[in-house]
């Protein structure tokens, strides 16, 4: 049982309880070695097993590892004991944006700044195939400098969760912020549903109250479906125009994030070219060097957390085949890219290059679930040592695994040092605590060291 002052995993000193839900508690904690403040989400494994939330927890881990952005709460580390899973996350001490809004409407300039940061974060998530699906002021935190941070990916989903019609079908979210197409249960585009929620949030920031708020839930749903709401008299014409495009009940004609970023009201206050470029780019820009197409650098924790020793799938007693693979290489990024292009040509696959060492390989022939698409991302450990993640982004899983086994793994053998899964697995570090750790030295651990 977690108690204030207790030491978790011989590394974190637990502090006060920050919040709790049905399946998890979040504590303030301090890293004993560095003194850094963190938030630790503690999930009881027994509870999630009973109610079938295994996939949701695994999805949250996958999503938070995918999404690293200045306006998204960062996941530092995932640890596990025999009975619990611990998410070590960025501690955001400014509290929820909801607390600010509950005191009344915000000044237009402040509301716009939060909205700009929200759109930047959501756009980045969507570029990674991640849809939040429960955006609301309670899930938006503020740091000590007043910057917005999107949190709580418990209801988020990945693009690979789409049905054959390309739409999502799980009804979720908070009623007042849910889009008409989610209510209608006919399948929906996750990106367009998130955009609607962003529009409701913008309205709340500027008005101080919800556009759709009826005591009778069915009446409220009727108004949402028809987008029946009124603008306060203090809403400027350009704000009204923008909101009318976002809160459009027709998801097909609803404005896209790209077009939101072009609106004059949205761009106001983004004075520097860097700020505008950051809003419009897929990657957050820290400096000019990030504009170059080079692999993302990994720190020691990234390397270890991506290795087999921190693969949490074994904790949940499931045998589902993985949809991703990772290998290490002693070759340069340029050599790896050329090899992937050569392999794609042999397999008659189309290659699309993206920024930051990312590539997409797409098959030409569609299978039962469409064309098999594979995303490859190269991470730089040193200039001559790289980690490469290869994963399915579309198509039939069995077809993907056959392609990996019969063509891709053999085709890449000249540049591969070690595939994850060929590395040592987990062992118990301390029988009394049942804490899992990496058992032997592996190529990734050697690099981290």
User: How many angstroms separate the CA atoms of 438 and 436, rounded?
Assistant: 7
Q: In what order do the strands lie in the sheet with 37-44?
A: 7-8, 12-20, 24-31, 37-44, 84-90, 75-80
Q: Which of 275, 118, 292 is nearest to 201 (CA)?
A: 118
Instruction: Decide the pairing of beta strands 296-297 and 370-382.
Output: parallel
- Closest to 201 measured CA to CA, from 140, 156, 147, 149: 140
Q: Are 426 and 438 in contact (CB under 8 A)?
A: yes
- Report how far apart, in Å, the C-alpha atoms of 437 and of each of 78, 79, 101, 307 are: 11, 9, 43, 11
Q: Backbone dihedral region of 129: left (phi > 0), alpha (psi from -120 to 50 degrees) or beta? A: left
Positions annotated as catalytic residues are 134
3-state secondary structure (DSSP) of residue 426? strand
Alpha carbon distance 418, 255 (integer Å): 45
Query: Which of 304, 296, 231, 245 has the alpha carbon at shortest distance from 76?
Result: 304
151 Cβ contact partners less than 8 Å away, ≥ 6 residues apart: 72, 73, 92, 139, 140, 141
Element (H, E) at 202: helix 190-207
CA 418: distance to chain centroid?
A: 27
C-alpha to C-alpha distances, 283 to 43, 118, 123, 289, 397, nearest whole angstrom: 31, 14, 10, 12, 28
Cβ-based burial of 206 (10 A; exposed 0-12, middle 13-18, buried ≥19): buried
């Amino acid at each position: 049982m977690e108690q204030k002052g207790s030491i978790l995993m011989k590394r974190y000193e637990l502090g006060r309880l920050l919040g709790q839900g049905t399946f998890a508690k979040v504590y303030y904690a301090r890293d004993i070695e560095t003194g850094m403040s963190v938030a630790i989400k503690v999930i009881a494994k027994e509870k999630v097993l009973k109610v079938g939330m295994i996939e949701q927890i695994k999805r949250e881990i996958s999503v938070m590892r995918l999404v690293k952005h200045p306006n998204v709460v960062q996941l530092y580390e995932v640890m596990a004991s025999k009975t619990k899973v611990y998410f070590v996350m960025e501690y955001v001490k400014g509290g929820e944006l909801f607390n600010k809004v509950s005191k009344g409407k915000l000044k237009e300039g402040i509301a716009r700044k939060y909205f700009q940061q929200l759109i930047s974060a959501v756009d980045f998530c969507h570029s990674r195939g991640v849809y939040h699906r429960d955006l609301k002021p309670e899930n938006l935190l503020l740091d000590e400098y007043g910057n917005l941070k999107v949190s709580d990916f418990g209801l988020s989903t990945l693009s690979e969760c789409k049905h054959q019609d390309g739409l999502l079908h799980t009804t979720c979210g908070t009623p007042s912020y849910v889009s008409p197409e989610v209510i209608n249960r006919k399948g929906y585009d996750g990106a367009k549903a998130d955009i609607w929620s962003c529009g409701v949030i913008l309205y709340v920031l500027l008005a101080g109250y919800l556009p759709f708020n009826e005591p009778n839930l069915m009446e409220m749903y009727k108004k949402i479906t028809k987008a029946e709401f009124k603008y306060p008299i203090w809403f400027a014409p350009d704000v009204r125009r923008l909101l009318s495009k976002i809160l459009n009940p027709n998801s097909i004609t609803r404005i896209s994030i790209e077009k939101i970023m072009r609106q004059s009201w949205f761009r106001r206050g983004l004075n520097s070219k860097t700020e505008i470029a950051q809003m419009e780019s897929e990657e957050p820009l820290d400096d000019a060097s990030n504009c170059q197409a080079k692999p993302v650098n990994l720190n020691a924790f990234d390397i270890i957390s991506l290795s087999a020793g921190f693969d949490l799938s074994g904790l949940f007693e499931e045998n589902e085949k993985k949809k991703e693979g990772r290998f290490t290489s002693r070759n340069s990024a340029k050599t790896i890219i050329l090899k992937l292009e050569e392999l794609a040509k042999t397999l008659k696959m189309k290659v699309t290059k993206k920024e930051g060492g990312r590539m997409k390989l797409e098959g030409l022939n569609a299978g039962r679930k469409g064309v098999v698409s594979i995303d490859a991302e190269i991470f730089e450990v040193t200039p001559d040592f790289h980690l490469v993640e290869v994963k399915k982004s579309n198509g039939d899983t069995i077809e993907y695994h056959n392609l990996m086994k019969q063509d891709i793994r053999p085709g890449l053998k000249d540049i591969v040092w070690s595939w994850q899964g060929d590395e040592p697995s987990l062992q118990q570090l301390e029988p009394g605590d049942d804490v899992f750790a990496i058992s032997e030295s592996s190529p990734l651990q050697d690099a981290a060291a």
